[in-house]
Amino acid sequence: MGITTALPYLRLRSEDTVGVVTGSLAAGTELVVGDRVVRLRDDVPAGHKVALADVPTGGQVRKYGQVIGVATRPIQTGDHVHTHNLAFADFGRDYAYGADLKSAGAAAAEPRATFKGIVRADGQVATRNYIGILTSVNCSATVARMVAAQFGEGSELLAEYPNLDGVVALTHGSGCGMAGAGEGFELLSRTLSGYARHPNFAALLVIGLGCEVNQVRALTEGFDLAQGTPLVPMTIQDMGGTRATVREATARIRELAGEVNNVVRTDVPASELVLGLECGGSDAYSGISANPALGVAADLLVRQGGTAILGETPEIYGAEHLLTRRAVSREVGERLVDRVHWWERYVKSCGASLDNNPSPGNKEGGLTTILEKSLGAVAKGGSSPLSAVYEYAEKVTAKGFVFMDTPGYDPVSVTGMVAGGANVVCFTTGRGSVFGSKPAPCLKLATNSDVYRRMSEDMDVNCGTIVDGTLSVDDVGREIFDLVLAVASGQRSKSEELGFGDEEFTPWQLGAVL
């Protein structure tokens, strides 16, 4: 077989012991690696790793210039490297707080960017204009959905009030059968309060059953809403049952619609954007294309004075030292490390391991260990200084690049970010996740051209052009940033056109179910 000179593989750092193939390669294929030739000993699927050097049993395997695991048996140059010969192993990490701070995010000044936003009476800026229905407990979920169904796509109300983006019911599976104090209850309350305060909700109904632990009155008293924000609390038991509650809630929404419709989009600086950074259904290209391109977009936003939120603590595990080195202070870096240690204790108490992630789909896409997945995931955070670390659903007040402690499970993670104030979300995917995040619009970024072609109705940006060699990471990052501005200005994302975002509201549940 002739030597392949087109380099159908990527060696991400000179010290890497593996390369990533950009298309499926058969055993016997010969690759030019510097001044030598590597002959594949196995068939290697697209996105998977090929050994570019020998690694003994127990030896560290490197990708991105970092450790992604250890060899479980001798690996020879040209071998397919995956779950059969590579495994997770913890290793010492130098947190070197702030060591890379001076160089992080350095770039020329950007021209001032703006978008068409909705400025609320308290000065907050919205990217959408919804009437929200929140529920205190799962027992009121069906009633809330019945109410929202009266005002679906194509309804008379939306036709009459074109500035109203919709009526959305966000329901959940908790609110009772739980302790009325403690971490689990606080998480739920903080999440619901964050959504209630979200500028994309112009008015709110809160529907409860009446006898739940998470009482409507106590919940709504803790919302701390901007003065003048319409809030209608009600319970099914007090209203006289299901039909009576639906009738009353429907009537109140009709009364509110005219006021909510009375908004005008105006030019506001990009510094008013809070961008949630998420990845799901990842593959081996995630850390090569979509995630670093999103990192470029995040850096562009930070340089405009805006905010970018990285989350998914279990999916930065093993790469957290890359973030602590960019922390603006030792305190910020230690706060991140503390959250990582909390997760180590938490999963151990559940009889699990942080390496139970990646998922089967991640592995099929070429990801082998959580270390490898994390190194690709942190690329979404760009290179800007880490200015703050927040707990789940905590209100984000700092500008710049920040971290929020969230689970890796996509809907739970994004729910925390939106509760914290994210008014736009970007979601990268290599396997083809479908997702939305009302009331914040969500952009889907495909890591490879194949999934973009197969799922073009779901994907907003094809980052596979980076792997294909037609565009650079910087080019695609700029494309993402420009699209974020357009969507923040009212242009609908693919997930919005499909109607995603109601069912994806998923608060993180901790604690005993009683």
User: What would the pLDDT profile of 476-509 be if each residue is shown by its tens digit?
Assistant: 999 999 999 999 999 999 999 999 999 999 999 9
Residue 403 sits at φ, ψ, to 5 deg, of -120, 140
Residue 221 sits at φ, ψ, to 5 deg, of -65, -20
Owner of token pair 């204009």 = 129
Mean pLDDT over residues 192-208, rounded?
98
**pLDDT at residue 91, rounded to an integer:** 82
Are 262 and 281 in the same domain? Answer: no
**pLDDT at residue 369, rounded to an integer:** 93
Give the count of beta carbons closer than 10 Å to the beta carbon of residue 168: 21
Minimum mean pLDDT range among 21-25, 357-361, 373-377 = 357-361
In percent, the amount of the chain with pLDDT more than 90 equals 90
pLDDT surpasses 80 at 385? yes
Give the count of beta carbons closer than 10 Å to the beta carbon of residue 385: 18
User: pLDDT band at 3, cuts 50/70/90?
Assistant: very low
Q: Is residue 72 part of a domain?
A: yes
If one counts the domains in the chain, the total is 3
Are 131 and 238 in the same domain? Answer: yes
User: pLDDT band at 399, cuts 50/70/90?
Assistant: very high
pLDDT surpasses 60 at 1? no
Domain extent for 355: 276-498
Q: Is residue 511 part of a domain?
A: no
User: CA distances (Å), 195 to each of 114, 163, 446, in order?
Assistant: 25, 20, 28
Are 317 and 454 in the same domain? Answer: yes
Q: Is residue 271 part of a domain?
A: no
**pLDDT at residue 5, rounded to an integer:** 34
Q: Is residue 513 part of a domain?
A: no
User: pLDDT band at 104, cuts 50/70/90?
Assistant: very low
User: pLDDT band at 108, cuts 50/70/90?
Assistant: low
Residue 47: which region, alpha, beta or left (left: phi > 0; alpha: psi -120 to 50)? left
Mean pLDDT over residues 171-199, rounded?
96
**pLDDT at residue 103, rounded to an integer:** 54
Are 443 and 479 in the same domain? Answer: yes
Which two tokens mark 242?
């299901």
pLDDT surpasses 90 at 231? yes
Tens of pLDDT along 15-55?
999 999 999 999 999 999 989 999 999 999 999 999 999 99
Cα atoms found within 13 Å of the Cα of residue 167, Cβ hemisphere only: 29
Which of 243, 266, 289 marks a domain boundary? 266
**pLDDT at residue 4, rounded to an integer:** 33
Q: Smallest Cα–Cα separation from 479: which of 458, 492, 463, 501? A: 463
Mean pLDDT over residues 134-153, rounded?
97
Mean pLDDT over residues 54-68, rounded?
96
User: pLDDT band at 364, cuts 50/70/90?
Assistant: very high
pLDDT surpasses 70 at 155? yes
Are 255 and 280 in the same domain? Answer: no
Are 368 and 228 in the same domain? Answer: no
Are 70 and 170 in the same domain? Answer: no
**pLDDT at residue 514, rounded to an integer:** 87
Are 168 and 291 in the same domain? Answer: no
**pLDDT at residue 356, rounded to an integer:** 77
Q: Smallest Cα–Cα separation from 446: which of 145, 153, 434, 220? A: 434
Considering the entire predicted model, what is its pTM?
0.95
Q: Is residue 364 part of a domain?
A: yes
Tens of pLDDT along 232-251?
999 999 999 999 999 999 99
Are 338 and 474 in the same domain? Answer: yes
Tens of pLDDT along 129-141?
999 999 999 999 9
Residue 320 sits at φ, ψ, to 5 deg, of -65, -25
Residue 444: which region, alpha, beta or left (left: phi > 0; alpha: psi -120 to 50)? beta
Which stretch of DSSP H or E encloses residue 414? helix 410-419
Are 169 and 27 in the same domain? Answer: no
**pLDDT at residue 276, rounded to an integer:** 98
Work out the mean pLDDT of the chain and round it to a whole number: 94
